[in-house]
Amino acid sequence: MNASFQQLCEKLSAAGVPDARYDAAELYRFVTGRDPRLDAAPTPAEAEKLAALAERRAAREPLQYLLGEWDFYGLTLKVGPGVLCPRADTEIVCEAALELLQGVASPTVYDLCAGTGCLGLAIAAQRPDAAVTCVEKSDAAWQYLTANAAGAPNLRTVQADVFAFWRTLPQGGADLLVSNPPYLTADEMAALMPETAREPVMALDGGADGLDFYRLLTGRYQAALRPGGWLVLEIGWQQADAVLALGAQYGWQNASCRRDYSGNDRAILLQKPPVLG
């Protein structure tokens, strides 16, 4: 019986950490390199490190920030304070984008509001023939993005504000735009989970009704796509109707919505009208 590990579980659990046992095991493995279920005890030096991390996790710092990296779609990405943590639900956005790119040779792809770069990097890794551009505004997030992008031969990074970036894009040059923009409403921003409250406001705050970035992306970015190109958007679980309405308003076609692993609406797919005849 590993008493240190048991204590760690209890401490996190008492602090209200969801999945306390999972987080405890991850922290234990991170510090010791050993499986807590097979290990008798940490060394004194390890115990000290573990205690410091336990304190921070009990104060509800995201586990991802403490570990400094997190897996997304088969990649291990650097994360930390100042950038949104990659989330499993976002993998379905990635999957949708990859499906839409099937049969498109050497596609040109933009990941707008890229954060860690998880979406763009995963697409670039799955499609070595693609040319992917990750766009991010935040100075803090930019550090993670460029570190994660180092060594990806088919991906470039641009530091820019998506509210201005659309003006710089050549017309009709892109096959697919993907984005997990900030989409929380003012009400949601006022009631964040403790972990989410540690993540950057800039990555979360979608304006009063949460739709500011959807108005921009559906309204301003269609010209950048070739006819028949796709816009793939992560959305909040209550936003499907509103984003589909924006899609219709701005003349997008073949709209659909996809659910995440929990059954919540999570992605909207919109197509620029193909050329007929």
Does residue 183 interact with ligand GLN by CB under 6 A?
yes
* Residues within window 87-146 making contact with ligand GLN, judged by CB under 6 A: 87
CA distance 252 to 245: 10
Residue pair 41/4 in contact by the 8 Å Cβ criterion: yes
CA distance 219 to 253: 13
189-211 as b/e: b if 16+ CB within 10 A: beeeeebbebbbebbbbbbeebb
Q: How wide is the angle at C-alpha 177 spanned by C-alphas 174 and 180, nearest 5°? A: 165
Task: Give the range of 10-18, 73-81, 182-190, 238-246 binding ligand GLN by CB under 6 A.
Answer: 182-190
CB of 180 to ligand GLN, least distance (A): 5
* Residues within window 195-234 making contact with ligand GLN, judged by CB under 6 A: 196, 204
Does residue 79 interact with ligand GLN by CB under 6 A?
no
CB of 194 to ligand GLN, least distance (A): 12
How many of the other CB atoms lie within 10 Å of CB of 46?
A: 17
Does residue 63 interact with ligand GLN by CB under 6 A?
no
Does residue 184 interact with ligand GLN by CB under 6 A?
yes
Task: Give the range of 23-31, 180-188, 221-229, 240-248 binding ligand GLN by CB under 6 A.
Answer: 180-188
Does residue 182 interact with ligand GLN by CB under 6 A?
yes
Residue pair 268/247 in contact by the 8 Å Cβ criterion: yes
Name the residues that contact ligand GLN, by CB under 6 A.
Answer: 87, 180-184, 196, 204
